[in-house]
Amino acid sequence: MKKIYLILILIFSLLMNGYSQGKSEVIMTEKQVAMPTYPVAPNDKNPIFFRNENHQGASRHVYPLKLNDQHTGKRVIQEWKTVVLENEYIEIGVTPDIGGKLYYATDKTNNYNFIYKNDVVKPSNITQPGAWVSGGIEWCVLHHHRASSFQTLDYTTIENPDGSKTIWVAEHETRHGMRWTVGVTIFPGKSYFKAETRIHNSSPFTHTFLNWANAAVHVNKEYQTIFPPSAQVVKFHSVTDFTQWPYAYNVYRGKEFDGMDISWWKNVLTSNSFFIHDLQENFMGGYDHGKNSGTVHFGNHHITKGAKLWEWGSGPSGQATEAVLTENAGPYAELMVGTYSDNQPDYSWIKPYEVKQWEQYWYPIKGIEGFKNANLNGAVNLEKRNDKKGIKVFLGYYSTGRVDNAKVILKNKDKIIFEKNIAISPEKPFAESIKIEGTYELSDLYTQLINNNTGEILVDYQHIEREPIANEDIPKPWRGYPAVDKLETVEELYLTGKRVEQFYAPRENPMNWYNAALAKDPGDSRTNIAVGNIYLKNGDFTTAREYFAKAIKRLTNDYTVPSTHEAFYLQGLALRGLGLLAEAEDTLYRATWDHAYHSAAYYQLAELSCSRNDFANALHQINESLSTNSRNNKAITLKASLQRKNRDYDGALTTLAAISGDDPLDFRIRNEYYLIAKESGDNQKANSLLASLNKEMRDFDDNYLELAVGYINNGLLSEAEDVLKRFNGENPFFAYYLGYLADINGNSDQAQQFFKSAAGKSVDYVFPYRLESVNVLNTAIKYNPTDGKAYYYLGNILYEKQPDAAIMHWKNAIKLNPELAIAYRNLGWGYFYHLNNVPEAITHYEKAIALNRNEALYFTELSELYETNNTPIETRIKLFEGNTEIAKNRDDSYMYYIENLILSKQAKRAVEALEGANFAYTEGSSRSRNIRINANLMLGKQYYDNKEYQKALDTFLKAKITKQEAGDDRLGGREVEVDYYIGLAYEALGKRSKANESFRSSANQPSQTVNVTSYYQGLSFAKLGKNDQAKKIFESLVSEADQQMKQSMDSEVGAIFGRREAADNRLSRLYTMRGLGYKGLGNLEKAKDDLNKALELSQSNLTAIIEEL
């Protein structure tokens, strides 16, 4: 009877909810999927340090990741591990080896890919280290695009009690020491999938982060991006431009849309980004009106505040770019959603050990011709339509689940004018055209979809009329960081410096503003804390301590307990870093007085107690820490370790159970389960747990090091030693750390052996980054003073933190190991980028190449130095003699070789060298295209000068290469120049009509700026007899060059990619502009003078070489 009663309750519950699940279940499959693939070449062995380079509007930091920007260009069939989740409605595939990307999502009811499915793995250079693949959903965690987007991530799969299934991907991020996880879940009977993201600042420092889910969708001329109805204004990256949405009237990025509806893909011809300004609803998406299908994203807009459309553009240049990213999958747009962010770059703060956690959903829609509102239950569309039979409204509903007993209602004001009972499901949406008698306004209509069994309104909508936004009411764009001398108050200086830090501004130094603030008020607590924090993160604990002491002195003036104890917390970290543990403990206890630092400070105190084996006190302190931050994995797992140490195994298991479901890929949790089983005598279970743990740690060295270093910081040394000994790879830092532990334990003989072993291992691909490793290496040097590699590693760790100290360590490395080519190369880097000593940098690079001629990157970097130094072209060409095959291993190296051939007027050799060359697409760079253009223009001009006009024409035509999007337009649109030369060849061949066609094409190219290619536009106008227009262009070249020569290079507001143009190169370009202007105006003496100056400044100035008088 009881069993029957329970069954009846279940049936009644299903009926009341109005949902019929049938045989709904989620199927999870792990398989190898064969896909056409263009493999990435092996990672570069050399560390890539910061060089003031811009990436996506923020600093481009590669180290300690490995550069993976070279591509083989060969097409192979490769199998990729894919975890597939599906139910009766949708199917998704996640690829752990492609950055954990959700590779596709398909609506099984109509086979529509509502998340873009790329038919090929074809990497291009988009991320900071390089490789990136278009399509799917990329988890852009911490930075955009995520640096590890083409690297293997940790993953696991979970079957949940409610029948849903989840694939988790996770990463310990090396640049900031933070950890993130994403769990993607499909549910029985639902057409949506959930992505739950968790960012854990597992470091003791405050950081900033950016988070965007980059969802790609298939687009075509019938595709429309759908932002919520309240979205009336959109903005560009860095908030440097605004315009209206969807009808754009305001000039946007220099473009006039003239009221065009920019929500349609076909109407935006070139690459562009549109961020909603002040998102007010929980949804966004897009709709393919040709396929009557689309995509909806749903998330809490108070947290997921960012909504963005990015597209390469429907014009020729955009499509040329997309062609290199796929084979047959076609164009795409990115419907991105940002959490704790509404722009790029736009970074939010995350405190020590803080966890940010949220969830969002995607689902397909079909059959409703668009949507005006959407939630987790479904979407609705309501539109006024005119047809031959009169005025009607179109009403459509899509449901994410099956509802057998639903009702559609449409009201005109308070009167129901349409009502219908329906069954609705993801397979069967509702759509109907309804004729309305009498007059009405669309805003009078209200519609809802109701679950008849529960009375729940599943989704509803009422149109709201909104006044258009006039151009004068558009918000004011951001115009860059104010100069130090423009700010009057300490607060303004402090806040500007803080923003520079927050946004990782690549070409600004926050210390400029902080130093100015301290000049006005040396005791300002905010600024002293900020400056001290920079030194603290960089491992300069002594200097950090001085600044924190100044802050504390000001804050505690007149025996005052301050309102914030941040300075005490940070001072405690500095003191601990200096080994002043008693002082650190006292200071950290002061920090616990402040709720904001209570948890972090008590966590530090617990670690200090553990290091003294005072486990009882440590357990009390960790409980205090958890009382104000119960999400901190590090505190939870330390508590479990302490309970295990006290043999409270049940307590430890209970502690771990509270977090293991939220983060099943936290290896510390998994290791504690193993240790509990082992220490409690359950060897069979322990062995099983260890085997599973080792499998998911996948022999990845950093997973083991991170786990071991965590135990070391906790003072749990035997646990750390156990983890280190499990790793079977060649990374020397396992031996270094084992030697360090042996030294702490007083076993000097064993320490000596480990340190000797570490010194004998290869430095290839070893990029240490942890500050904890500094003490380890210093200990190794005490045992083995001749270990040059230890000094080399110290330099690597410290270069971006303490560059002077790093250079000193690299000098010691080459003294002790004079054959260590990579140390010479690193010294060359330091002399150039930090000390600005180009001659010394060149000397060290030349030595590195003499020791090791097999590193193509050395040729690239030395070529750049030669260019900076304005070294004669003959010397640059000689560098590559006998080394061209090595140079081919890197695009940039081989491009330098070809550029040097062009600059030396060996154009035919350059064109021959380009045959068969396949350069990878790199976002933000037009270099490979420019090289092909330059080689063919130079060769064509040589043919032309020799009166071989047909050969000249054929060669000029080869220079007509479609531009790709997001390139560097510093030199202007090259089509102007190419078309002019084509016109010249046609003219010489007597084909006047063809010549004029080319001259018109050159003259009529749109241009937003005056640049060197404007000269050829002027020449084309002159060829067409439009001398006034030609003269105007030549005069503008002179005036624009004069104006720019007077301007500062300090600010490049909104720059997204690349490095700042070198001062001499910039001045050379401006002299060229002015010289060409004078040449066009017939003032040949001034033209010659300016072009000669241009060449004196830069022998790499090809335009000046070609136009030299």
Round to whole Å and give the CA distance between 651 and 68.
46
d(CA 690, CA 576): 33
Residue 176 has pLDDT above 80, yes or no: yes
Instruction: Flag whether pLDDT at 821 surpasses 80.
Output: yes
pLDDT band, very low/low/confident/very high, at 19 (cuts 50, 70, 90): very low
Q: Is 901 helix (H, G, I), strand (E, B) or coil?
A: helix
Angle at 967 between CA 966 and CA 973, to 5 degrees: 115
Helix (H/G/I), strand (E/B), else coil: 92? strand
Omega of the bond leading into 562 within 30 degrees of 0 (cis): no
Q: What letters, b where the CB count within 10 A reaches 16 and e where it falls short, cover 131-162?
A: bbbbbbbbbbbbbbbbbbbbbbbbbbbeeeee
* Short-list 897, 889, 890, CA closest to 914: 897
CA-nearest of 931, 926, 870 to 897 is: 931
Please give the angle made by the CA atoms of 593, 597 and 599, to the nearest 5 degrees.
100
Asked if 913 and 895 count as a contact pair (C-beta separation under 8 A), the reply is no
**982-1004 pLDDT per residue, tens:** 999 999 999 999 999 999 999 99
What lies within 8 Å, CB to CB, of 360 at 6+ separation is 194, 195, 197, 213, 297, 298, 299, 300, 304, 337, 339
pLDDT at 287 over 60: yes
Q: Tell me how far apart the alpha carbons of residues 430 and 407 are, in angstroms, rounded to a whole number.
A: 10
Q: Would the pLDDT of 626 be above 60? A: yes
Dihedral of alpha carbons 42, 47, 52, 58, sign: positive
What does the alpha-carbon distance between residue 49 and residue 54 come to, in Å, rounded to a whole number? 13
Whole-number Cα distances in Å, 577 to 93, 526, 583, 804: 45, 22, 11, 20
Asked if the model's pLDDT at residue 8 lies above 50, the reply is no
Q: Please tell me the distance from the alpha carbon of residue 185 to that of residue 167, in angstroms, as a whole number.
A: 7
Q: What is the pLDDT of residue 390?
A: 65
Question: CA dist 832 to 501, 511, 1049, Å?
Answer: 24, 21, 20
Confidence band (pLDDT; 50, 70, 90) for 972?
low
| Cβ within 8 Å of residue 408, ≥6 positions away | 395, 397, 418, 419, 420, 422, 430, 447, 448, 449, 450
The amino acid that residue 887 corresponds to is A
Strands (DSSP E) contained in 38-159 are: 54-55, 58-59, 76-86, 90-95, 101-107, 112-115, 124-125, 131-132, 137-142, 154-159
Tens digit of each residue's pLDDT (9 = 90 or more) over 438-448 = 788 999 999 99
**Selection from 475, 240, 143 nearest residue 1052 by Cα:** 240
Q: What is the reported pLDDT for 389?
A: 65
Tokens of 641: 């370790």
AA letter at 546: E
Q: What is the mean pLDDT of residues 498-502?
A: 97
Decide if pLDDT at 824 tops 70. Answer: yes
Q: Which two tokens stand for residue 674?
A: 């193993």
Write the CA distances from 718 to 200, 283, 420, 693, 1042, integer angstroms. 26, 51, 70, 18, 69
CA 201 – CA 178 distance, rounded (Å)? 5
- Domains of the chain, earliest start first: 17-366 (2.70.98.10), 373-462 (2.60.40), 509-629 (1.25.40.10), 975-1109 (1.25.40)
Q: Which helix (H) or strand (E) holds 825?
A: helix 821-829
Q: Is the pTM here over 0.75, yes or no?
A: yes
Percent over 90 (pLDDT), the chain: 88
729, pLDDT greater than 50 = yes
347-380 per-position pLDDT tens digit? 999 999 999 999 999 999 999 999 999 999 999 9
- Do residues 1077 and 1019 lie in contact, with contact meaning Cβ atoms separated by under 8 Å? no
Instruction: Estimate the crossing angle of helix 717-726 against helix 701-713, to 10 degrees.
Output: 170
pLDDT of residue 1047: 84
* Pairing outcome for strands 76-86 and 27-37: antiparallel
Secondary structure (DSSP) of 952-970: HHHHHHHT--PPPTT---T
User: Hey, which residues does 832 pair with through a beta bridge?
Assistant: none
CB 514 within 8 A of CB 527: yes
- The set of residues, in sequence order, having a beta carbon less than 8 Å from that of 459 and lying 6+ positions away, is 373, 374, 375, 377, 378, 379, 380, 397, 448, 449
pLDDT at 356: 98
Tell me which residue of 649, 650, 611, 605 sits closest to 626, measured CA to CA.
605
- What amino acid is encoded at 28 in this protein? M
Query: Cis peptide leading into 246, omega within 30 of 0?
Result: yes
Check whether 41 has a pLDDT greater than 70.
yes
Specify burial of residue 839 (Cβ count, 10 A radius: 0-12, 13-18, 19+): exposed
Other Cβ atoms within 10 Å of 731 Cβ, number: 19
Please report how the helices 992-1003 and 974-988 are oriented relative to each other, as an axis angle in degrees rounded to 10: 160
Angle at 80 between CA 79 and CA 86, to 5 degrees: 120
pLDDT tens figures, 157-166: 999 999 999 9
